[in-house]
Amino acid sequence: MTPSFPIAINNVEDELIVNRSRFICYLRPCGDIAEAKAMLKELQKLHPQASHHCHAFLTKAADDSQGYGFSDDGEPSGTAGKPMLLALQGGGIGQVCAVVVRYFGGTKLGTGGLQRAYGGSVRQAIAFLQSKIKIAMVHKTLACQYSQVDDVLHLLRQVEGQVITQDYQQTVIFTLAIPNQKLALMQDKLHTLSSGQLQLYKTD
């Protein structure tokens, strides 16, 4: 089970100008690598004349040591993607992708200048990023009779849970995602509903 953590919920576009170079930072919610790649491709099409399209993303919590990636897109190694990633991690908001589009202004910034510009561009944009808490969910298996399905789904809505899979056999077998804080409440309600027959089990 992963703990609750803040995730991005809005799109941000923000511009920073350093020695006539334009750094346009885009931030968007991003739950997986495919979303990050799609965002990058879209902005490459939107800015075909830009000299670089550097990116960094977090698909999990900001302090999770997995689920991240970055690219310098032709800038000197370590001058763009890594500072952008560090800025995202420092922002404390997970599931977010940053793409910084650079239009070269004619003056070379040097490695330190590039690091400050790319990292600073993301930090400046994060000020406009909104977030919500992603609730920690526990996965459980539940088998019930067909006649109990509507009652089970009603209870699940009450605790703000979700159905992940459902398998209709002799009984109905659900895989459920239930907020960790409401797990005991869900079990109590099921117990009351079925006179102790319905039980939540660990998911294989």
Domain count of the fold of the chain: 2
pLDDT band at 4 (very low <50, low <70, confident <90, very high): confident
Same domain, 64 and 148: no
Would you state the pLDDT for residue 2?
61
Written as six digits, the tokens of 82 are: 């890594």
Same domain, 176 and 126: no
Average predicted confidence (pLDDT) for the chain: 95
Same domain, 156 and 129: no
Of 178, 180, 190, nearest in space to 149 by CA? 190
CATH code for the domain in which residue 145 is found: 3.30.70.240
Which of 79, 98, 133 terminates a domain? The answer is 133
Cα within 13 Å of Cα(32), Cβ side: 1
% of the chain residues with pLDDT over 70: 99
Domain encompassing residue 186:
136-202
65 compared with 39, residue with greater pLDDT = 39
pLDDT band at 1 (very low <50, low <70, confident <90, very high): low
CATH code for the domain in which residue 80 is found: 3.30.230.30
In whole angstroms, what is the distance from residue 148 CA to residue 111 CA? 64
